[in-house]
Amino acid sequence: MTKIARAVPVLMYHHISTSPGMITVSPDHFAAQMAYLARAGYRTVSGAQLAAYLAGKPLPEKSVVLTFDDGYLDNWVHAHPVLHAHGFTALCFLVTRWIGDGEARPNARSAGPIPPLLSHADGERAIENGQADRAILRWSEIKEMRQAGTFEFHSHTHGHVRWDKIARNREEKCAGLKRDLFDARATLASHLGEVSDHLCWPQGYFDDDYRRIAREAGFRHFYTCETGSNLRGRRDGSGDGERSITRLEVRDRPASWLASRLWVHSRPAISRMYLRIKR
């Protein structure tokens, strides 16, 4: 008899790169982490499967969701080949304004030298200077990853803007966010033929206005930077199927570190106790 997951951990990655820096996991540690998941019998879960679980449908024990924020080039270069080798799938949240055109570049499992990979700080500067292609995926790479089944793609807004910080007032904040979300949906629909109701908040920030506008734009599943367990059938109280999804930020650590975090956050009572102690 298949055991049912008491909670589903959602892992949060950004960079998989040899260029060290913040929110970066080395290719060696990432490969070891994925090998551990495969060896320990974990199965990766799609966005649709996670949504069904949150709505009350069971998932097998040792189900896990892999997420990647921002859509960095190194996700294609290093993460994609490892996921493909294990038959794993991940969710990638794209900032659609940053994505460019052009041929797919080599990755770690293909012929030819891999492109230089920028650190997080250097990538931010490249994006600010209009050189996002040096740090971010191209549509051709996204389509290859999607076709291979290693990644599915969702919205991280169009411009990755914190409207609460730059707007002069609430009206301007709401208008900017609404435009940002609709531009992201239109771009994803144009390039991929569809767009889901899954949205990752830029920098993990949201407030009541953000949630209301996102619901009006057609989003229902909101990925946060808050740590915790995701429980079957848990409701956020909105009454319209809205769900906020907690995630575990993965560090540049050996697989044993990840194994310990998964053990904790697959057990709701232990997860709650652990988080109380950490706070």
Tens-digit pLDDT profile for residues 102-159? 999 999 999 889 999 999 999 999 999 999 999 999 999 999 999 999 999 999 999 9
Flag whether 30 is in a domain: yes
Flag whether 267 is in a domain: yes
* Residue 116, helix vs strand vs coil: coil
Flag whether 113 is in a domain: yes
Separation CA 140–CA 47 (nearest Å): 22
CATH of the domain at 74: 3.20.20.370
- Residue 213, classified by CB atoms within 10 Å of its CB into exposed (0-12), middle (13-18) or buried (19+), is buried
Which 8-state DSSP code applies to residue 240?
A: S
Query: Among residues 168, 15, 13, 160, which one has the least CA distance to residue 91?
Result: 13
Separation CA 145–CA 137 (nearest Å): 10
Q: Indicate the pTM of the whole model.
A: 0.96
Flag whether 146 is in a domain: yes
Separation CA 74–CA 89 (nearest Å): 16
Separation CA 228–CA 266 (nearest Å): 9
pLDDT attached to residue 238: 53
- Six-digit token string for 132: 């996002």
pLDDT attached to residue 112: 86
Flag whether 237 is in a domain: yes
Q: Please give the tally of structural domains in the chain.
A: 1
Can you give the residue range of the structural domain that contains 162?
Answer: 10-278
- Residue 115, classified by CB atoms within 10 Å of its CB into exposed (0-12), middle (13-18) or buried (19+), is middle
pLDDT attached to residue 233: 84
Separation CA 138–CA 259 (nearest Å): 33
Answer whether 105's CB lies under 8 Å from 114's CB: yes
Query: Among residues 161, 176, 155, 168, which one has the least CA distance to residue 127?
Result: 161
Separation CA 168–CA 174 (nearest Å): 11
Residue with tokens 């506008």: 213
Q: Which residue(s) pair with 67 in the sheet?
A: 12, 91
Flag whether 4 is in a domain: no
Q: Which residue(s) pair with 93 in the sheet?
A: 69, 154
pLDDT attached to residue 236: 61
Q: pLDDT by residue for the chain (279 residues), tens digit each? A: 679 999 999 999 999 999 988 899 999 999 999 999 999 999 999 999 999 999 999 999 999 999 999 999 999 999 999 999 999 999 999 999 999 999 999 999 998 899 999 999 999 999 999 999 999 999 999 999 999 999 999 999 999 999 999 999 999 999 999 999 999 999 999 999 999 999 999 999 999 999 999 999 999 999 999 999 899 987 665 556 799 999 999 999 999 999 999 999 999 999 999 999 987
Separation CA 44–CA 277 (nearest Å): 29
Task: List the end-to-end C-alpha distance of the chain, in Å, as a whole number.
Answer: 38
pLDDT attached to residue 49: 98
123's enclosing H/E stretch is helix 120-128
